[in-house]
């Protein structure tokens, strides 16, 4: 389970770095918001796949 979160946060960091500089004071906040959006997208995809 930890490796899933590690991959997810690495992806969130890469996506957030496209929008905000890594040394910006609000980078951790943006990274967290991107991580939550990724989790929501994964849950949405899983929920829609189970409906079939």
Chain segment 7-45, per-residue pLDDT in tens: 999 999 999 999 999 999 999 999 999 999 999 999 999
Q: Does the pLDDT at position 51 exceed 90?
A: no
Helix axes 27-50, 2-19, angle to 10 degrees: 120
pTM beyond 0.85, yes or no = no
Domain total for the chain?
1
Cα separation of 23 and 1, whole Å?
29
Cα separation of 36 and 12, whole Å?
9
Domain containing residue 10: 2-50
């Amino acid at each position: 389970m930890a490796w899933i979160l590690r991959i997810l946060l690495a992806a969130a960091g890469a996506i957030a770095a496209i929008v905000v500089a890594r040394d910006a004071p609000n980078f951790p906040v943006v990274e967290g918001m991107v991580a939550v959006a990724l989790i929501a997208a994964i849950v949405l995809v899983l929920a829609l796949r189970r409906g079939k």
